[in-house]
Structure 1
Amino acid sequence: IEMGDPKIGVITSGIAYQHAKEAFGSRASFLKLGFTHPLPSRKIIDFSRKVERIYVIEENDPFIENHVKALGISVIGKERLSLCGELNSEMIASRLLGENVSGCEITEEKALPRPPVLCSGCPHRGVFYELGQLKDTVITGDIGCYTLGSAEPLNAMDTVLCMGAGISAAIGFERAFKKIGRTSRVIGVIGDSTFFHSGITGLADAVFNRSQITVCILDNRSTAMTGHQNNHGTGLRLSGKPATEIEIKDIVKALGVEHFFEINPNDLAGLKALLKETAVLEGPIVILAKWPCALLKELPPQDRSKFDLPQSKYTVQEDMCKKCKKCLTLGCPSISFIPGAGSRIDESTCKGCSLCYQVCPFHAIQKRGDRNV
């Protein structure tokens, strides 16, 4: 009990107490209930005898109000305060005290949108960067981190439906295009975990139907989108203990795919050449882009040595930057642009994937330690 002016008594609890305290201040006495079930009937009666008028202020339904009325105490509550909507100090002051209290001013300025993007150093970025350069190509996507390849500035995905549809939708597009005489290339994109989950049957259908499609399997050595769970191809169980590693390459070849290629997705020139080379091949083609997720903290020893991790970071040679913004087309969150100054790389988040180094036409981006960096 907090005694103030005895003319008004307020029975309340929880956050409603803070709102009431702000509205009434020292102009009222307060009974703040710590427990509302069972209610302290004796304390409520004692409090009611010390004040002249009682308001019950609570959120939502009049639970406390009804109980107090059942004790034979006359109170004012929900007949003035709303059953729904937000309870705040302005409403209390207006409806119980007749005061017009203006709330905080709402600015019309809106914050810049921050849509989700692929992480710094994401191994999927290079694949989507090169896929986005292709002309007259339909790219069918799937469910995973790589779904973000559909967003600007990469803009390298035309469809996303469900797990496994990266391959099955590609089969359908290719078949439909053939019927109408359209020669557009069709490329399906699917992650390693999704391939094990829902992609194997789709690839079997592609072989069975001799579909003229290219399937890019993005193997980041993890089920990254949902929390970096291991999958059949990582060689580790959920407990971290060794497990039998099922090679995607073996599955693909066992299904009868004749054209299989494995590549480092951070090699943009190699990716570009491979996409061009495979455009003229017959039958389903599979490209396995294999590199660990940039957020993985633990890797099997064979992966750590194979992928030569960690990588060196990169930085911008400020005097060489021509402000062309080519590096921004990668959509890397570690790269920013300062008007009048040029591009900058946040070295605290850079993972050393080197994509920005590869796309800069003026060699303004260098590895830490090179030249006078």
Structure 2
Amino acid sequence: MQNRLNFNFPTPIRFGAGVIDELPDHLLAQGLNHPLLVTDPVVSELEFFQDILNGLRSKNMTPEVHTEMHKNPIESDVLKGGDHYHRSGCDCIVGIGGGVALDVARAIVLRIHHHRPLFDYDDLIGGDQYVTEEVPYFVTVPTTAGTGSEVGRSAIISEDISKKKRILFAPKLMARQVFADPMLTMELPPFVTAATGMDALTHNMEAYLAKNYHPMCDGIALEGMALIAKSIEKATHHPDLEARSNMLLGSLMGAVAFQKGLGVVHSLAHPLSSLLDTHHGLANAVNLPYGMEFNYAGLESRFDKMAEFLGVVDADGARVVDFLFELNQRLELPTKLSEIGVRPEHIEELSNLAVADFAHPNNPKPVSWDDFHTLYQKAL
């Protein structure tokens, strides 16, 4: 875990403790010296972020910092970031943070030379056809082990008023370089570690079960599950470099794997963020056992394989749901929606949003409005 490694899958990934110190020379080698650093207001105040700034400045670079973003990012966050880039004459974008910061950074990358209304580029309405211009050089630096957005090609941004989630997607929005340094995750508090870790686990599990045929993604997802299952409790309660490294790798792998698709759990979780501003990882953590229970019948062999890689007793797929409930409890995460502010009167609107969500069409079983309503009631 002390080694610095290179992976290409297909994003070039520089992985290892301390690799963030290579960022200034990497940008200079591309002829770039005026980056816009996009991060959230919390990360911008942390010591390691100040170290990144100082490292850039020590090479006579002139970084700008953009931190205006909501917990669930909205269109105006992106537009303000694009204005900041142009106003300051920046020449590249570096996204630093968790999924929110990296989604905003990626959407800003799109915005710089694409001037149609932002949601004309929504992938679900064929908007990728309009992503025709060049984009700024883009680097990502993850500081959580959760979304895996650092290796992604899409950004989820909500409408300002309705909070409806939209997907901006294009292959050219993939980072040109990732610096995945587990040292940047060492100081994450237990709740954030647990919630983002369960997000990463959800990505791997849903990708493995998604109905599309993609054996490469299946293999990556299984190994991602194994890394997370053996490391998430240690990373949460007694973190060390090995556990943090495994979580960061498991997160990267989940994001690579879910190009195959996601499923019912994400469609249960997204409305909680839209309607109640729930942390996305927490929303996935609470809903994961219920979504897996919904999927079990008819997929027993797949659950047996997941059980093997998760370390479930006797590799028994029938025990996966109980394993997930118990894991949430050991991580001190809630297991009921009522514990995170959901009330009975929310269920109908949540069900409306869930059935309209983009994730569940890739679920291995069809999910109806009635199914979502039943699942929310059960999880309440």
- Higher alpha-carbon Rg: 1
More strand by share: 1
TM-score greater than 0.5 by the shorter chain? no
TM-score when normalising by structure 1: 0.28
TM-score when normalising by structure 2: 0.28
More helix by share: 2
Q: Which has the higher contact order (CA 8 A, sep 6+)?
A: 2
